[in-house]
Structures are given as C-alpha cells and as structure tokens.
Amino acid sequence: MSSIITNSAATAALSTLRSINSDLGRTQERVTTGYRVGSASDDAAYWSIARTMKSDDKAMSAVQDALGLGAATVDIAYNGLAASIDVVDDIKAKLVAASEPGVDKSKVNKELTQLKDQLQAIAKSSTFNNVNWLNITDATDSSVQVVGSFVRDAARNVSMQTIDFDIYANAGSGNMLALIDDRNSATGGEAGILTSTYFATEAGAASNWVLHVNQSNSATATEIELSDATTSDDLEDMVSVVDKMLLQLTNAGADYGALKMRVDLQTEFVSDLRDWASQGISKLIDASMDEEATRLKALQTQQQLTTQALSIANSGPSALLQLFQ
C-alpha cells in the first residue's frame, strides 16, 4: 500500500542516513585527533585508566630529572675521589723518596705542600647544585638520598622510593667516604680520610699523622710534613699511614662506583618504564589510523548510497500524482 501521509521507505532511509552520519562524525574525529577514546563518554573505564597513567608518567618524568641530578652529584664525588687517589699516590711516592739518604727533606716538603693543597682544592670544589659529599661541614647530612622511583601500589596509594647512601655515619669504624671533615672541633675530623687520626692508630704510628689539619682535628692531629728534623721512624710511620689512607680511598671509590652503577641502572629503567607506560596508554586510547581510514572510506560510500536511496524514496509520492491525471 502506498501512502501520501507516511513515506515508510524515506523514513527508513533517513534513519539509516542519521546513523551513518553519526558514525562518520565519530570516525572523522578519531582521524583528526588520533584518539579512539578522547573523552570519558567514549569509554569511561579506559579514559580513567589512561588519565591516571598519564599523571603517573608526569611524576616519573620528575623522577627522571631527579635521577639526573643525583647521577651528576655522584659523578662529581666519584671523579673527585679518583683524582685524589692519584694525588695521594704522589704523596706516598714523595715520602718514600725522602727516605733515601742525602735527600733534602725541606725541598720535598715544598712538593708535599702543593700536593696537600691540591687535595683540599679537589675536596672543596667537588660540588654540584650546592651539594658536596667529599668536604663535610656541620650542614652535611650523614646519610643522603637520591630519588629512585615513583610507585603506585595495588591499593592505588602512591609513594616515593629513594636510594639511600651513608657518607659518614659509620666513620668511627674507619669507613670514611669523604676526603675532609670540616665540622666543629668536637668531631675530631674522624669522618674525613685526610683528616681522621684513625689511620695513624691503625698503623701504630707514634704520632696522629693526617694530611690535613683544620679546626675539627687540630687538638689531636699532626699534619704530615717534612723537615731536617724528620726521623726515619717518622717517615716510616707517614708512609704506613698514607698507604692505609690509599686503601680507604680505594674502598670509598668502590662504594661511589657501586652507587653510580645503581643510579645509572635506575635511570635506564625509569626511561624504559615510561616507554612501556606510553605503549600501554596507546593501546587503550589511540586510534588505529589504518582501520579508521578504511572505515571512513566505507562510511562515505554508505552515505552516498543512502542519500541516493532517500532521494528515490522521496520521489515515490510524486509518482502517485500520475495516477490522478
């Protein structure tokens, strides 16, 4: 039955056209933005997960920057310590040379003075971002922390994980990691390899020989220096003390090297973690451009065909007029 009141074919074609236009608009938006889930209305669950992961990615970016600062601080301390080992090696060689009969000890002492000054320069200049681990002052914390990672647990609670490193908390047992202890006189310079009397005690020396005397250790320590009055026993003690300092410098270098390796590994892991998170976010919300391009072409073709079908359906009532002529 044909009706001039209701055109069922046109209504069906128009409904189909509306649906196609809606799908076409959604597909065009995906092609334009590159997102399959661009808002919560597209997929509330995926959108919520993606937003949380993007927020965490920003936090990990800050962790990455903090690790960069930590790595630079460790590098400065490690390189400063490595440079001081070479200088202390030279000091040991000068002391051994001074043991030879006929050597002018006062002239050797001039070289020792320059080498000791160089050690002070290394310790005081090994600073990055106002942080110095080789020259301890009253403001220096005994244990330092380097930001390691940002963690979100299963309960969705967040926390910061740090890499802890002890500089001088265990200095009393000879485990010094700094070169100079410039704290107040009550500390006795015990936390600095160059200022602690620990090595003289370990060597059984007659005097508390150190390579640097300051306010911290001036009451108990005697600085290594040569004069015509320096005896063979004094030189033997000095060489023994400096050798023990060298051993501790090597141990400290190993500790800084291990920390440097840990920070480098963590930096690489955080970088990989951000890449993995980006890939996960992409799988949740990014549009597949190949699929969307194919879908767009198909919808455009359907739109054209449906428009033609609607045109044909709308021409039906006109054909009915010919029956009344």
Per-residue pLDDT of the chain (325 residues; tens, 9 = 90+): 566 666 777 788 788 888 888 878 778 777 877 777 777 777 788 888 888 888 888 888 888 888 888 888 889 999 999 999 999 999 999 999 998 888 899 999 999 999 999 999 999 999 988 889 999 998 888 888 887 777 777 676 777 777 888 888 776 677 889 999 998 877 888 999 999 999 999 999 999 999 999 989 988 999 999 998 889 999 999 999 999 999 999 999 998 988 888 888 888 888 888 888 888 888 877 777 888 788 888 888 888 888 887 777 777 666 666 666 5
CA of residue 278 relative to chain centroid, distance? 18
The CA-atom distances, in angstroms, between 79 and each of 14, 83, 169, 309 are 77, 6, 22, 79
- 159 torsion bin: left (phi>0), alpha (psi -120 to 50), beta (else): beta
- Report pLDDT digits (tens) over 17-63: 888 888 787 787 778 777 777 777 777 888 888 888 888 888 888 88
Taking the C-alpha atoms of residue 311 and residue 279, their distance in angstroms, rounded to an integer, is 47
CB 75 within 8 A of CB 292: no
Q: b/e per residue, 260-283, with b = 16+ CB within 10 A? A: bebbeebbeebeebbeeeeeebee
Treating both helix axes as pointing N-terminal to C-terminal, what angle do 44-98 and 232-285 enclose, rounded to 10 degrees?
170
Tokens standing for 124?
């005081």
Name the architecture of domain 44-285.
Up-down Bundle (1.20)
- State the pairing for strand pair 209-210/222-223: parallel
Tokens standing for 170?
């265990």
Query: Which pTM was predicted?
Result: 0.73
